[in-house]
Amino acid sequence: MMGVLRWVALASLAALSGCASVPMAPTDLDAQGKRFQPPPPEKASFYVYRESVFGAAYSVNVTMGQRALGALAADTWFLVDVEPGQYDMRCSAGEGSDSKIVGIAAGETRYVEVAMRMGVMQPRCAVFEVNVEQGQKAVMGGKRAQEIR
Protein backbone atom coordinates (compact mmCIF):
# COMPACT_ATOMS: atom_id res chain seq x y z
CA MET A 1 0.00 0.00 0.00
CA MET A 2 2.80 2.41 0.87
CA GLY A 3 4.38 1.82 -2.56
CA VAL A 4 1.10 2.78 -4.28
CA LEU A 5 0.80 5.99 -2.25
CA ARG A 6 4.40 6.90 -3.03
CA TRP A 7 3.78 6.28 -6.74
CA VAL A 8 0.63 8.44 -6.71
CA ALA A 9 2.54 11.24 -4.92
CA LEU A 10 5.35 11.11 -7.50
CA ALA A 11 2.86 11.13 -10.38
CA SER A 12 1.15 14.17 -8.85
CA LEU A 13 4.45 16.03 -8.54
CA ALA A 14 5.31 15.20 -12.15
CA ALA A 15 1.97 16.58 -13.29
CA LEU A 16 2.62 19.82 -11.42
CA SER A 17 6.17 20.27 -12.74
CA GLY A 18 5.34 21.17 -16.35
CA CYS A 19 3.03 23.79 -17.74
CA ALA A 20 0.62 23.35 -20.61
CA SER A 21 0.49 26.12 -23.15
CA VAL A 22 -2.43 27.21 -25.29
CA PRO A 23 -2.76 29.76 -28.12
CA MET A 24 -3.16 33.24 -26.67
CA ALA A 25 -5.34 36.10 -27.90
CA PRO A 26 -3.69 39.38 -28.90
CA THR A 27 -2.94 41.72 -25.99
CA ASP A 28 -5.51 44.29 -27.16
CA LEU A 29 -8.28 41.67 -26.86
CA ASP A 30 -7.00 40.73 -23.41
CA ALA A 31 -7.19 44.37 -22.32
CA GLN A 32 -10.63 44.80 -23.91
CA GLY A 33 -12.05 41.81 -22.01
CA LYS A 34 -10.66 43.13 -18.73
CA ARG A 35 -12.82 46.27 -19.05
CA PHE A 36 -15.90 44.11 -18.31
CA GLN A 37 -18.18 46.05 -20.62
CA PRO A 38 -21.81 44.95 -21.03
CA PRO A 39 -22.56 42.50 -23.84
CA PRO A 40 -23.68 43.75 -27.26
CA PRO A 41 -27.43 44.58 -27.62
CA GLU A 42 -29.69 41.52 -27.41
CA LYS A 43 -26.69 39.32 -26.46
CA ALA A 44 -25.22 37.87 -23.28
CA SER A 45 -21.59 37.21 -22.29
CA PHE A 46 -19.76 34.34 -20.61
CA TYR A 47 -16.31 34.57 -19.12
CA VAL A 48 -14.96 31.03 -18.91
CA TYR A 49 -11.70 30.76 -16.98
CA ARG A 50 -9.18 28.47 -15.35
CA GLU A 51 -7.30 29.94 -12.41
CA SER A 52 -5.34 27.30 -10.50
CA VAL A 53 -1.85 25.98 -11.17
CA PHE A 54 -2.92 22.52 -9.97
CA GLY A 55 -2.57 20.18 -12.94
CA ALA A 56 -0.64 22.85 -14.84
CA ALA A 57 0.89 20.22 -17.13
CA TYR A 58 -2.58 19.65 -18.60
CA SER A 59 -4.74 21.90 -20.70
CA VAL A 60 -8.53 21.64 -20.39
CA ASN A 61 -10.77 21.46 -23.46
CA VAL A 62 -13.91 23.57 -23.13
CA THR A 63 -17.16 23.41 -25.09
CA MET A 64 -20.50 25.24 -24.95
CA GLY A 65 -23.14 22.93 -26.37
CA GLN A 66 -21.92 22.03 -29.87
CA ARG A 67 -19.41 24.92 -29.97
CA ALA A 68 -15.79 24.08 -29.14
CA LEU A 69 -14.18 27.10 -27.46
CA GLY A 70 -10.65 25.67 -27.28
CA ALA A 71 -8.24 24.79 -24.50
CA LEU A 72 -7.46 26.63 -21.27
CA ALA A 73 -4.16 26.44 -19.40
CA ALA A 74 -3.65 27.72 -15.85
CA ASP A 75 -4.61 31.41 -15.48
CA THR A 76 -6.28 31.77 -18.89
CA TRP A 77 -9.82 32.71 -19.93
CA PHE A 78 -12.29 33.13 -22.80
CA LEU A 79 -14.93 35.82 -23.34
CA VAL A 80 -17.86 34.56 -25.42
CA ASP A 81 -20.85 36.60 -26.59
CA VAL A 82 -23.94 34.42 -27.08
CA GLU A 83 -27.66 34.51 -27.72
CA PRO A 84 -29.68 34.35 -24.47
CA GLY A 85 -30.57 30.80 -23.47
CA GLN A 86 -29.41 27.63 -21.72
CA TYR A 87 -25.84 26.44 -22.34
CA ASP A 88 -24.23 23.10 -21.55
CA MET A 89 -20.77 24.15 -20.39
CA ARG A 90 -18.35 21.18 -20.60
CA CYS A 91 -14.73 20.48 -19.81
CA SER A 92 -12.55 17.47 -20.54
CA ALA A 93 -9.04 16.79 -19.30
CA GLY A 94 -6.94 13.97 -17.99
CA GLU A 95 -9.25 11.31 -16.58
CA GLY A 96 -12.66 12.72 -17.25
CA SER A 97 -15.11 15.44 -18.01
CA ASP A 98 -17.75 17.51 -16.28
CA SER A 99 -20.66 19.71 -17.33
CA LYS A 100 -23.08 22.28 -15.98
CA ILE A 101 -26.14 23.85 -17.57
CA VAL A 102 -26.03 27.64 -17.19
CA GLY A 103 -28.89 29.91 -18.21
CA ILE A 104 -28.25 33.46 -19.31
CA ALA A 105 -30.55 36.36 -20.31
CA ALA A 106 -29.93 39.25 -22.70
CA GLY A 107 -27.68 41.86 -21.12
CA GLU A 108 -26.26 39.46 -18.52
CA THR A 109 -22.65 38.45 -17.95
CA ARG A 110 -21.89 35.15 -16.21
CA TYR A 111 -18.60 33.72 -14.92
CA VAL A 112 -17.85 30.01 -15.24
CA GLU A 113 -14.76 28.42 -13.71
CA VAL A 114 -13.17 25.30 -15.16
CA ALA A 115 -11.09 23.85 -12.34
CA MET A 116 -8.70 20.94 -12.06
CA ARG A 117 -9.29 18.31 -9.38
CA MET A 118 -7.36 15.27 -8.14
CA GLY A 119 -7.76 12.09 -10.17
CA VAL A 120 -6.24 8.65 -9.73
CA MET A 121 -3.50 8.91 -12.39
CA GLN A 122 -4.21 12.33 -13.93
CA PRO A 123 -6.21 15.38 -12.91
CA ARG A 124 -9.92 15.74 -13.65
CA CYS A 125 -11.83 18.89 -14.45
CA ALA A 126 -14.93 20.43 -12.91
CA VAL A 127 -17.27 23.21 -14.11
CA PHE A 128 -19.12 25.63 -11.86
CA GLU A 129 -20.58 29.13 -11.94
CA VAL A 130 -19.04 31.76 -9.64
CA ASN A 131 -20.05 35.24 -8.51
CA VAL A 132 -19.02 38.44 -10.30
CA GLU A 133 -16.31 39.40 -7.81
CA GLN A 134 -14.58 36.02 -7.92
CA GLY A 135 -14.85 35.81 -11.71
CA GLN A 136 -13.51 39.31 -12.36
CA LYS A 137 -10.60 38.77 -9.97
CA ALA A 138 -9.62 35.58 -11.82
CA VAL A 139 -9.87 37.27 -15.23
CA MET A 140 -7.75 40.21 -14.05
CA GLY A 141 -5.06 37.77 -12.84
CA GLY A 142 -5.02 35.78 -16.07
CA LYS A 143 -4.51 36.17 -19.81
CA ARG A 144 -7.05 35.76 -22.59
CA ALA A 145 -6.72 32.52 -24.54
CA GLN A 146 -7.47 32.35 -28.27
CA GLU A 147 -10.81 30.74 -29.07
CA ILE A 148 -11.14 28.19 -31.84
CA ARG A 149 -12.92 29.87 -34.75
Say if residue 7's pLDDT is above 90: no
CATH of region 2-144: 2.60.40.2890
Say if residue 18's pLDDT is above 70: no
Q: Which of 136, 5, 146 is nearest to 80 (CA)?
A: 146
Model pTM score: 0.83
* Domain residue extents for the chain: 2-144
Which has the minimum average pLDDT: 8-12, 64-68, 132-136?
8-12
Q: What number is the average pLDDT over the span 67-95?
A: 93
Give the model's pLDDT for residue 10.
Answer: 35
Neighbours of 103 (CB within 10 A): 12
For residue 19, give the 3-state DSSP assignment: coil
Cβ 17 vs Cβ 70: under 8 Å? no
Cβ 60 vs Cβ 94: under 8 Å? no
CA-to-CA distance for 86 and 101, rounded, in angstroms?
6
Average pLDDT, the chain: 85
CA-to-CA distance for 147 and 22, rounded, in angstroms?
10
Cβ 22 vs Cβ 72: under 8 Å? yes
One-letter identity of residue 133? E
Q: What number is the average pLDDT over the span 45-67?
A: 86
Q: What number is the average pLDDT over the span 79-84?
A: 97
Helix (H) and strand (E) counts for the chain? 3, 9
